[in-house]
Amino acid sequence: MNDQVPADLLEIVEALMPGVDLGSARLAGHGNIHHVVLLPGVAAVRISRRPSGAEALPRRTELLRVIASAGLPFAVPEPLTPVAMFGDRAAVAVSWLDGAGLPEGEGDPAKIGEVLAALREVPLTPELRTALAAPTEGGRWWADVLAQDVIPRLPRKWRDEGRRRLDRALALEPAADSLVHADLGGENVHWSENGKLVGVLDWDLAMPFDPAIDAACMAWHGWRNVRAAVDTETYRRAEVWDAVFGVEHLVAVLNGRPLTNVDSYVAHIVAWLERAAGRPLG
């Protein structure tokens, strides 16, 4: 966390939420798309950093409203204000979620399984499908991006292996779409001090897709815990998806949005491949 909130961001927060005490305001990290100003116990205020973020914020805010009404057994940040424009920046306040993320490698398999089951069981109503960042028609845009734009840029020693990993994912039997958060784990899943699930943050990447993607994301808590949390087939699929250059990188192309910087994306993938080189595949 960075306790120092720039004056221009504080001005936006004050205008958006007049009368709120800003004495405890602090900045949450440095997101690529948004600044997030935390008002502990009160709200989190998202403020766009660039025009693309400002354009997307109304849809992302509507998605929070729809997901919050879906009957999940945990809290979701809900909009407290309309999206407002401040010059070329958009901002919105959402409800505060208590708790905190667990350290990497820690987690109760039973509770991990409950989170995954809750997401899988949400009905994909027309309203929810409209609000989600749905993958492109046919669902294979991501494979074309990897095959045509990414794998040819890999170092020679990784190209054949990259194609093999992609082929394994393409060979998976189609799975019925579920609500997929696509960024579970870490600071996005909040737990109370006594281990109770409080809520899930940051739904910007949510989409209808194979629920094994979320199982792979929960490997933040350790693959051993994921294996104990899900059935054998879900675990197998999760490993296959993750092997395609790391699930955190894969989700960047699953919804059909074009990569804005392919070379940077490839550099992150290569770093992941080098780190994961000692982990067996399959």
Q: Where are the domains of the chain?
A: 7-95, 109-275
- Cα R_g (the chain), whole angstroms: 19
Residue 277 confidence (pLDDT):
76
Q: Per-residue pLDDT averaged across 39-46, rounded?
A: 96
Which pairs with CB-CB distance under 8 Å and at least 24 residues apart come from 226-230? 226/109, 226/112, 228/109, 229/109, 229/110, 229/112, 229/113, 229/116, 230/113, 230/116
The CA–CA distances, whole Å, from 136 to 175, 199, 206, 257 equal: 16, 29, 14, 9
Residue 138 pLDDT greater than 90, yes or no: no
Angle, vertex CA 180, rays to CA 176 and CA 184, nearest 5 = 145
Fold of 109-275: Aminoglycoside 3'-phosphotransferase; Chain: A, domain 2 (3.90.1200)
In CATH, what number does 7-95 get?
3.30.200.20
pTM: 0.92
Give the number of other Cβ atoms within 10 Å of residue 244's Cβ: 22
The amino acid that residue 234 corresponds to is T
Q: What's the chain's average pLDDT? A: 92
Per-residue model confidence (pLDDT) at position 141: 84
pLDDT in tens, 241-260: 999 999 999 999 987 777 88
